[in-house]
Amino acid sequence: MPAAALVWVPNAAGPTQPEFKYLEVRGTFWVKQKKLKCRSANAMATSHIHTDTSIVMNPSQKPMLSSSEQRVYDVVLKQAAMVKEKKENVSLDVKPEIASPSTIDLLNEAYQRCGEVCAEYAKTFYLGTLLMTPERRKAIWAIYVWCRRTDELVDGPNATHITPAALDRWERRLEEVFDSRPYDMLDAALSDTVSNFPVDIQPFRDMIEGMRMDLRKSRYMNFDELYLYCYYVAGTVGLMSVPVMGISPDSNARTENVYSAALALGIANQLTNILRDVGEDARRGRIYLPQDELAQFGLSDEDVFAGQVTDRWRAFMKDQIKRARVFFGAAEEGVTELDKASRWPVWASLILYRQILDAIEANDYNNFSKRAYVGKVKKFLSLSTAYTRAYLHPKNISNLARA
């Protein structure tokens, strides 16, 4: 793991320039060292390329983005631009009333089904969506269901039969959803959602690309490759959700910065998921951990398959956990910018998922044969912490979040 990382921090005072906090690893601590003004808004934990601190510390330079980060940041900018455009043209955006009562009934039924699926597979998140306005709640359900169905193609009961050609068909079907030609009821709900909210198709396409990647790849040479995978399968969810969840009318943050935070939450969640599931994935012949970083700690695939918790493994895991926490930290700053009604479910999922990292530590880094999980009492407490954070004044929230 890298010696240094730049982490984007939204400037609540309404910046003309985004701000970055410079974080440096010293021994086992991340030390906030100085703030830099940078022209580019994205420098999310670009740690793996910034091992030479002199590169990051020169304030006159744009932070160097890796190829994956640049590729992903272009999607962030595109999505943010779409939202801004929608905001500016909001008065012109009157949809003709062409839907017949029977179409409306069918759509309502479709959304209801999406809600049932969400309630069944993501209970806590579903409860959180109940706080949102009915339009937003239904739209989030429709997006959730599409993501779930996409994931099931490679992870569900028929996963062994799935081929790249089937994913191509799923992508053509996605294009039709965005062209208002849905194939089934659940697609119809998504079609309706993407016509009501400024949601870009790219993150959806990219999630399918993530499934293709999972089919053809079982090793990641470095963090750049892993970052791209995490964006495809989880960062995309953040980008799809924010246009629906909405940014608070009181927010002074730049739209693209809120989207970068949403992306960070997806990446943090996925990194956590990977760290929790090392043993389970290894039993399927998969290792998502960066190969070069394993090697830096004197570890190899064989060590992962052997599943022994050694001092080398502990040291490696400490570094990986540290990086996941950096991404959670970057995400936190964006949650406070979301529309008030959307903050609670996001805080809840952030706090709950981040606790999995604590659970891995509590298991003495045995993620080979012990599953890290958050107990019921802790879960319940987290929900009320999330509630408090969501409904305090934004200025207080960031202070509290660091407590």
Asked if 241 interacts with ligand GRG (CB under 6 A), we say yes
Asked if 291 interacts with ligand GRG (CB under 6 A), we say no
Closest listed residue to residue 343, CA positions, set 299, 377, 306, 388? 388
19 phi/psi in degrees, rounded to 5: -115, 150
Asked if 346 interacts with ligand GRG (CB under 6 A), we say yes
Count of residues that bind ligand GRG according to CB under 6 A: 19
Asked if 251 interacts with ligand GRG (CB under 6 A), we say no
In the complex, least distance from residue 191 CB atom to ligand GRG, rounded to whole angstroms: 21
Asked if 154 interacts with ligand GRG (CB under 6 A), we say no
Asked if 211 interacts with ligand GRG (CB under 6 A), we say no
Asked if 145 interacts with ligand GRG (CB under 6 A), we say no
In the complex, least distance from residue 274 CB atom to ligand GRG, rounded to whole angstroms: 8
Among 198, 210, 246, 266, binds ligand GRG (CB under 6 A): 266
Q: Which helix (H) or strand (E) holds 276?
A: helix 255-276
Sheet of strand 4-9, all strands in order from the earlier edge strand to the far edge: 4-9, 19-26, 29-37
Q: Which is nearer to ligand GRG, 66 or 269 (CB)?
A: 269
Tokens of 374: 């958050």
165 phi/psi in degrees, rounded to 5: -65, -35
Asked if 243 interacts with ligand GRG (CB under 6 A), we say no
Asked if 397 interacts with ligand GRG (CB under 6 A), we say no
Quote the CA–CA distance of 403 and 396 in Å, as a whole number: 11
Asked if 234 interacts with ligand GRG (CB under 6 A), we say yes
Closest listed residue to residue 207, CA positions, set 174, 248, 254? 174
Of 194-202, 305-313, 331-339, 391-399, the segment contacting ligand GRG by CB under 6 A is 331-339
In the complex, least distance from residue 266 CB atom to ligand GRG, rounded to whole angstroms: 4
Among 56, 188, 262, 390, binds ligand GRG (CB under 6 A): 262
Quote the CA–CA distance of 392 and 399 in Å, as a whole number: 11
Residue 351 · residue 382 · CB < 8 Å = yes
Quote the CA–CA distance of 390 and 291 in Å, as a whole number: 39
Amino acid present at 10: P
Q: Which helix (H) or strand (E) holds 99?
A: none
Beta bridge partners of 225: none
Residue nearest to ligand GRG (CB): 334
Among 110, 258, 326, 372, binds ligand GRG (CB under 6 A): 258
Closest listed residue to residue 126, CA positions, set 138, 135, 101? 138
Among 331, 351, 352, 360, binds ligand GRG (CB under 6 A): 331
In the complex, least distance from residue 352 CB atom to ligand GRG, rounded to whole angstroms: 9
Asked if 338 interacts with ligand GRG (CB under 6 A), we say yes
Amino acid present at 81: A
Q: What DSSP state is assigned to residue 11? A: -
Asked if 270 interacts with ligand GRG (CB under 6 A), we say yes
Binding site for ligand GRG (CB under 6 A): 234, 237-238, 241-242, 258, 261-262, 265-266, 269-270, 273, 331, 334-335, 338, 346, 349
